[in-house]
Amino acid sequence: MKIYNSRTRKKEEFKPLKKGEVTLYVCGITPYDTTHLGHAFTYISFDAVVKYLIYKGYKVNYTQNVTDIDDDILRKAKEEKEDWRKLGNFWTEKFLEDLKFLNILIPNHYVKATNSIDEIIEINKDLFKKGMAYENGGNLYYDVSKFKSYGKLSKYSKRQMLILLKERGGDPNDPLKKNKLDFILWQKSKKGEPFWESPWGNGRPGWHIECSAMVRRFLGEQIDIHGGGKDLIFPHHESEIAQSESYTEKEPFVGKWMHTAMVMCSGEKMSKSLGNLVMVSKLSKKYPSNVIRWMLLSNHYRMPWEYDDSLMTIAKKEYSMIEKILEKKGNYSVNPKAVKKFEEFMEDDFQVQKVLRFVLRLSGKEENKETIKMILEILGFKVI
Ligand SMILES: [Zn+2]
């Protein structure tokens, strides 16, 4: 099986560290708003990956975090005069409902950042002791000048990193930092904000460190696959590598980095700030789960694509052709040649979109009914 590794930018043979087992971590949501198609695309793409690995006989240990404490949540809670925990729980529930509707498997470990504070402090203490982190004004920072290969995942120049850091909510000009690219491991809580005790004073964890802590706690020091949206490559995943490899003194932290492409809408990346979000909850009122899955999986996970309503119309039409075949009464057996073809597509960096085209071609003949059923079930469709 070949998987494209974002770090080497090559398709590489996939060999898990432990025979027959796969450790997978995918960065989760910050629960302060509803699930949009960008999220759905990431999690449904990984759902197909997980289900295929299970079909191949692997035991998959899948972990995902919930960033239930951060600036956005606290800001929204303040705006809505709501308790930050209640707000986070509410949107986490909504997210899980959307996943359930889309028939996406809930990870084996689905964990809130606030439930990993001890592990976070433990790693931070170690980084501080090793001189990789420093304290200033109640904040603990990771010193990127101590990690020579900072940038090895994104391969961005320092200049590019500084531009992106600013764009993505970081503050290169924070006067408490030694280097502009240093990032927060522990943040002093402002008056009235929630806090946890730590050797650096009352505060809360930085964003990147929660993922390093959860990977280590639930999956181990080195893992097979780490995933997330492409916009997480820098600074989030770059910083995860620095923290984890400094802590464990083992590399690589991750065998294969898999990043899902951005979903566009009206010519721009789908994002809250641009106001062009398409919500899963809205589509789910109009279309069955299988049709939405068909539309999403018609795109390869690494290929950027643009959503417009006509894609749902096409998906509905195509999926109804499949359903017609599945409703046929005749008795047929699975075609091993077709299954082999399906496996070839999947083992070439999970070309699900090619599988769907293939299934559509198979749907021209009634005798392919059982083969289609089998393939779609593996890919997470609810087939009766
Ligand atoms: Zn993460």
Please state the domain extents for the chain: 15-263, 289-297+308-378
**DSSP sequence for 236-294:** IIHHHHHHHHHHH--S-SEEEEEEEPPEEETTEE--GGGT---BHHHHHHHS-HHHHHH
Residue 272 has pLDDT above 80, yes or no: no
Q: What is the pLDDT of residues 35-79, one digit of tens each?
A: 889 999 999 999 999 999 999 999 999 999 999 999 999 999 999
What Å distances lie between residue 181 and 210, 211, 360, CA to CA?
19, 19, 49
Residue 276: pLDDT band with limits 50, 70, 90: confident
Residue 273 has pLDDT above 80, yes or no: no
Residue 361: pLDDT band with limits 50, 70, 90: very high
Distance (Å) from CA 284 to ligand 1 centroid: 27
Number of other residues whose CB lies within 10 A of the CB of residue 134: 18
Average pLDDT for 313-341 = 96
Q: Report the side by side order of strands in the sheet with 223-229.
A: 109-112, 59-66, 21-26, 223-229, 254-260
The token pair that represents 176 in the structure block? 């408490």
Distance (Å) from CA 384 to ligand 1 centroid: 36
pLDDT of residue 227: 98
Distance (Å) from CA 224 to ligand 1 centroid: 15
User: Half-sphere exposure (CA, 13 Å, Cβ side) for 228?
Assistant: 23
Distance (Å) from CA 217 to ligand 1 centroid: 14
Distance (Å) from CA 18 to ligand 1 centroid: 23
End-to-end CA distance of the chain: 29
Helical packing angle, 289-297 and 309-326, nearest 10°: 110
CB 26 within 8 A of CB 46: yes
Residues sharing a CB contact under 8 Å with residue 71, sequence separation 6 or more, in sequence order: 169
Distance (Å) from CA 215 to ligand 1 centroid: 9
Average pLDDT for 157-165 = 95
pLDDT of residue 34: 82
Q: What is the pLDDT of residues 176-207, one digit of tens each?
A: 999 999 999 999 999 999 999 999 999 999 99
Distance (Å) from CA 237 to ligand 1 centroid: 7
CA distance 207 to 205: 6
Distance (Å) from CA 49 to ligand 1 centroid: 18
pLDDT of residue 22: 98
Residue 325: pLDDT band with limits 50, 70, 90: very high
pLDDT of residue 26: 98
pLDDT of residue 283: 94
pLDDT of residue 136: 98
Distance (Å) from CA 86 to ligand 1 centroid: 22
Question: Which secondary-structure segment (H or E) carries 52?
Answer: helix 37-55
Distance (Å) from CA 153 to ligand 1 centroid: 14
Task: Report the chain's mean pLDDT, rounded to a whole number.
Answer: 96
Distance (Å) from CA 122 to ligand 1 centroid: 18
Distance (Å) from CA 208 to ligand 1 centroid: 6
Closest CA to 69 of 200, 167, 190: 190
CA angle 2, 16, 150 (to 5 degrees): 85
Distance (Å) from CA 66 to ligand 1 centroid: 9
Distance (Å) from CA 211 to ligand 1 centroid: 5
Distance (Å) from CA 272 to ligand 1 centroid: 19
Distance (Å) from CA 193 to ligand 1 centroid: 23
**pTM for the whole thing?**
0.96
pLDDT of residue 6: 98
CB 75 within 8 A of CB 324: no
CATH class of 15-263: alpha beta
Distance (Å) from CA 28 to ligand 1 centroid: 7
pLDDT of residue 294: 98
Distance (Å) from CA 185 to ligand 1 centroid: 13
Residue 267 has pLDDT above 90, yes or no: no
Question: Which secondary-structure segment (H or E) carries 326?
Answer: helix 309-326
